[in-house]
Amino acid sequence: MSTMTPPPPGIYVPSVLFFDENENFDIPSIKAHVLRLAQGGVTGILVQGSNGEAQHLSHDERKEAIRITKQTLDENGFQKVVIIAGTGGQSTRETKKLCVDAAEAGAAFCLVLTPSVWPPQMMPANILRFYREVADASPIPTMVYNFPVVTAGLDLTSDIIYELAQHPNIVGTKLSCGNIGKLHRLTSSVPSSKFATFPGVSDVFLQGLVSGSAGVIGALPNIAPKAHAELYRLYKAGKMEDAARIQALLGHADWELTKMGSIGGIKAACSKYFGYGTPIVRGPLSAVDFENAAAGKLKELIVFEKSL
C-alpha cells in the first residue's frame, strides 16, 4: 500500500488476547478468536487496541501478538483481512520503535494513542509534533487514536486531527470519544480517499455511516462480528429501518459491555458462548462473571449473532 492509502472501509475489531492461568499467551485460544472474527466477516483486526491490553505487554509480546494474528489469517485463507497495530508509547522514541516492530511483524497500519503521562504538557503544538514525527519515521501508514478515557482525559479536537490529516503518512483516525459532530466535521473536510474516519464505539456505528464514516473500529464485534456485518449490509442496501433496529440492539449491548468492563466481559462471553479462552485478564484488571454481570441485551445480541 502506498503511504497515501487509508485502510479500506468496513468493520474493524480491537481483538482481545487470551491468557492461561500464569498470564502467558494462550495461543490456541488467540488463534480460535482471530479465526472466528475473520469468518464473521470483519474487514480488519486491530492488534493491541485498548481491548488487546497493549499497555500490559512487553515489546516482544506485542510483536508476537501481531505475528500470531497474521499467521492465523494467512493459514486459513484470510490474507485480505487487514491488520492494524496499536503502537502508542509514552515517548516519541518508543512509539517510533513500536511502529517499526509492527511493520516487521506484518501489520499494514499503525494506530497511535496520544501520550498522556504529562497531560498539562500535551498542548496542541506538542501533540502535533509527536504525531508528525512518528508518521515521518513509521514504515507503514499511521492513524490518530483519540480515546480520552485512556489518555487522562486528553480529547483531540477536530481542528488538531484535521491538521494531522494533511500529513502524507497519516491516513485515518479512530474516535473512541464517540463524538459524531467531530466525525462529521472531519468526513466533510478531508476526502475519504486520503483519510478514513472511524467511530471507536458500536453504539454510533449507523450514525457514523450516515455522517460519512469509513465503518467502525469497536470492541463489540469481538462478541458479534456477524451482527455488525449484517447492519453494514442493510445500510448499503438502503434498508435503514432494519439497520436501525440492529443498531438499537448494538447500542444497548455496547453500553452493558462497557459497564461490566469490556475486556473481561468479552473474554467471559467468548469462553461461555463460543467455546474457547478463559476470562483471565492481566492485573490490575479483574475477571468478570458474565452471568452475574450481563444484562439482557448482550445475551440477546449473542442469540442474534448465532442465528446469522
For the annotated catalytic residues, the residue numbers are 145, 174
Residues 6+ apart with CB under 8 A from 203: 178, 250, 251, 254, 255
Ranges of H-type helices in the chain: 27-39, 59-75, 92-105, 124-137, 158-165, 180-187, 205-210, 225-236, 240-260, 262-269, 290-293, 296-307
Residues counted in the chain:
308
Strand partners, 9: none
Residue 217 in marked binding region: yes
Instruction: List the one residue out of 112, 100, 119 whose CA is nearest residue 147.
Output: 112
Q: Residues with Cβ < 8 Å from 248, sequence gap 6 or more? A: none
Annotated binding residues, written as ranges, equal 217
Annotated binding residues for pyruvate, written as ranges, equal 217
